[in-house]
Amino acid sequence: MQNRLIEKIGVEVSPLGFGAMRLPLRNGKINRELATEQIYHAIDNGVNIIDTAYLYGDSEKFLGEVLQGEYRDKVLISSKLPSINVRKYEDMEYYLAEQLKRLQRDCIDFYLVHSVDLKTVNRLIKRGLFDFLNKAKSEGKIRYVGFSYHGVKEEFDLLIDGFDWDVVMVQYNYFDENVQASVEGIEYAASKGMGVFVMEPLKGGILAGNMPKDAENIFKNADSTKTTAQWALQWVMNNPNISCVFSGMNSMDQLEDNLAVAEKTTPMSMTFEELETVEAVKRVMHNALKINCSTCGYCMPCPQDVNIPECIKIYNEKYLFDHTGPFNESFIDYYQYVGGVMGKAGNAGLCNGCGKCLRKCPQKLDIPAELEKVRKEFEPPGVKYILPVAKKIGIPLYAQVTKLLNR
């Protein structure tokens, strides 16, 4: 694949980066064998940068363990200061030291201030953020600095101009083209020679895999050989202002799919007809999606144990895929995955409106209000009395069916 130059710092990065937020799991923990195989395969095929964060579970520690030997110097590491945890200057030094230890490195190549808007950065400035970043750079603990943005587009340029940043990470996909940083913000950052990294190119998977039939048909009629994920990634990589697209690939099929796009997509390589195809799909998706959630999980954990991302995902899928009828696929998924029938309950009705999730949401969603929509959709009156019975019957029945199928 053709690497892209970050002009300000003279560093070339692969157009596809490995996002470590969604590494494959087994029993709730990183599937080390599969994740290692994927990472090595990605590096062997040209990926030269991996993105992680302090808040991404055990991903930093895992990467520190597997990126040794011949792979240690083949890849750049991007990680993030957990801004939400910083209360004083010493916290920043503590987290950086802990991250270097986890990653088993003396220096982090790209160190980003995680999930910020103007208000967050101003709070951190009062605690010495810029002094900390300058000191860490001078001591050789971090090489380049940036921030991942989750604010409004009106404030983006102010942050870009507020410090000598090297890179910025933004949410960007064809569905959310003008949210947060927006196209104009991306152009402005690139005009200053900064590297522009992209997160959520597939909007948490919504733009990959199954899509509304009308959207799928548009893509298939245009090119039956390309997957929906390939269309979405190609659209992002087509932008000449984008340095690297981080994709959270948790299977070899997804990795191969992404590599295929990165190997053939260069800036401005999409035809007018291809761009028109994506615009047509975008219109279909905007008409179908009810809650603009990327399932990033930053809102978690919930004090009431509501599985917020899954509740909203199932609600969106009901309308995306036109699930109708009293016991449709989404209704069944809701009770199986969050309703408590097959495990611990995490349904929307558990929300008490405490609002602790509000300040964490990168999309600035009114999560309690959105969960109320989910509750009204899936939880009829008397559900709290029905659930214990369903759980008592559902789990043994599920176990029996699974046993029969696996014979």
pLDDT at residue 398 tops 80? no
Mind listing the domains of the chain with CATH numbers?
4-288 (3.20.20.100), 308-405 (no CATH)
* Predicted confidence (pLDDT) at residue 327 exceeds the cutoff of 90: no
pLDDT band at 393 (very low <50, low <70, confident <90, very high): low
- Calculate mean pLDDT across residues 16-32: 92
Instruction: Write down the mean pLDDT value for the chain.
Output: 90
Residue 108 β-bridge partners: 142
Q: Residue 169's closest CA among 189, 152, 153, 154?
A: 189
Using an 8 Å Cβ cutoff, are 174 and 232 in contact?
yes
Neighbour-count burial of 79, counting CB atoms closer than 10 A to its CB (0-12 exposed, 13-18 middle, 19+ buried): buried
Structure tokens at 140: 């050789």
Query: Where do we find the tokens 């522009």?
Result: 196
- The percentage of residues in the chain with a pLDDT greater than 90, rounded to a whole number, is 68
**Per-residue b or e along 9-42, where b marks 16 or more CB atoms closer than 10 Å to that residue's CB:** eebebbbbbbbbbbbbeeeeebeeebbbebbeeb
Per-residue pLDDT band for 383 (boundaries 50, 70, 90) equals: low
Which residue is listed with tokens 């599985």?
307
Q: Which residues pair with 50 in a beta bridge?
A: 18, 77
Q: How confident is the model at residue 218 (pLDDT cuts 50, 70, 90)?
A: very high
Strands 76-81 and 16-19: unpaired
Average pLDDT (312-333) is 82
Distance between CA 56 and CA 202 in Å, rounded?
18
Position 316 confidence tier, pLDDT thresholds 50, 70, 90: confident
As a whole number, mean pLDDT of residues 30-34 equals 95
- Decide: helix, strand or coil at residue 170: strand
Q: Tell the burial category of 106 from Cβ atoms under 10 Å away from its Cβ (0-12, 13-18, 19+).
A: exposed
If you average pLDDT over residues 132-157, what whole number do you get?
95
Highest mean pLDDT among 143-157, 208-222, 227-241, 368-382: 227-241
Q: How confident is the model at residue 401 (pLDDT cuts 50, 70, 90)?
A: very low
| Chain mean position to CA 353 | 25
Q: How far is CA 63 from CA 22, 59, 66, 80, in A?
A: 13, 6, 5, 14
Does the pLDDT at position 399 exceed 70?
A: no
- Over range 185-201, report the average pLDDT: 96
Give the model's pLDDT for residue 210.
Answer: 77
Task: Please provide the DSSP assignment of 2-63 as one string.
Answer: --EEETTTTEEE-SEEEEGGG--EETTEE-HHHHHHHHHHHHHTT--EEE--TTSTTHHHHH
* Strand, coil or helix: 367: helix
Percentage of residues of the chain with pLDDT beyond 70: 93
pLDDT digits (tens, 9 = 90+) for 283-295: 998 888 889 887 7
pLDDT tier for residue 362 given thresholds of 50, 70 and 90: confident
Q: What's the Rg (C-alpha) of the chain?
A: 22
Gap between the Cα atoms of 335 and 375, Å rounded: 12
| pLDDT tens readout for residues 39-95 | 999 999 999 999 999 999 999 999 999 999 999 999 999 999 999 899 999 999 999
Please state, in angstroms and rounded to a whole number, the distance separating the CA atoms of residues 61 and 103. 6
Task: Work out whether strand 29-30 and strand 25-26 pair parallel, antiparallel, or are unpaired.
Answer: antiparallel
